[in-house]
Amino acid sequence: MTVDSIAVAVVNHNTCGYLRRCLASVLEEEPAEAIVVDTASTDGSAEMVRREFPGVSLYAVSNRGYGAGANVALTAAQAEYVLVLNADTRLQRGALAALVDYLAEHPQVAVVGPRVVSEAGAVEHTGRRFQTPLELLLQESGLHMLVDARRRHRSPQRVDWVLGAALALRRDAVLSVGGFDESYFLYGEEVDRCLRLRQAGWETHYAPVATVFHVGGASTSQRRPEVAAQYVRSTILLYRRHRGRWETGLARIVLALALAARLIRDSIRLLIRRREAQRQDLVERIEAWRRGLGAVRRA
């Protein structure tokens, strides 16, 4: 198969430098379409795309969240498949062709997560199980690293869901279930979408046939307190929609305990740190944990 049947869409918010590098790697692959959805960036991202990448379709929209931005791209694209990327990614050569081949050979698959590698060369665990309160506890305590090492996938296989930094989508299938749920501003939307696709008879696969390099946190690290609160709201919303009342209650307890533990830990660290840069980072983290605890109470 050729790459004529796949579009690449990048959802961007205030990551101009990363976006430039991402688009350069995308255009080397010669996709059928290249799309940028810029969600009200203030760092000149949209202007950079207009100036340096005139062949890229740019949609400058208000910031209604990642899912809303992805929906703009899915609606605008004409290709059969769409690879949705975070702006802090870049493609390894041959990635698009490999993803097209995989989707063409697996007509029951609506979502494919490629192999994602950090800038340091570590393979990220992107193929996941649908979350239970126990899974959430493992994640928030850090113990998930031990479990993830045992679950790490080295060959293509069916999974419950894949992380959203890079998602190859069968466009018509995703649109048939309503696309991305825009009530998730950030986080949770990829899990919700994969759940709805499974209910409609579609599969999600992790397929390390293609590699995408990922920095991680390029946009979210700029607004840590807001992101922490949004993570909590999205997690609780996901449980409300797809789990029972008691599991939602357990999820609230896990989140509250994890955030309280981090708040205490970093408050103690702040008392003993002397370097201004370290203190400023801790002050920001403490505010994030406080905002998250507030979101647990209000969500």
pLDDT at 249 over 80: yes
Is the pTM of the predicted complex or chain greater than 0.85?
yes
pLDDT tens-place string over residues 151-191: 566 789 999 999 989 999 999 999 999 999 999 998 899 99
Residue 148 — very low, low, confident or very high, per pLDDT cuts 50/70/90?
low
Residue 71 — very low, low, confident or very high, per pLDDT cuts 50/70/90?
very high
Q: How many CA atoms lie within 13 A of 217 on its CB side?
A: 8
Q: Please give the pLDDT value at position 146.
A: 64
Q: What CATH topology corresponds to 3-217?
A: Spore Coat Polysaccharide Biosynthesis Protein SpsA; Chain A (3.90.550)
Q: How far is it, in rounded angstroms, from Cα 180 to Cα 196? A: 10
pLDDT tens-place string over residues 85-100: 999 999 999 999 999 9
Residues 88/15, Cβ–Cβ less than 8 Å = yes
pLDDT tens-place string over residues 117-132: 998 888 988 898 888 9
Lowest-confidence range among 124-138, 189-203, 231-245?
Answer: 124-138
Where are the domains positioned within the chain? 3-217, 221-298
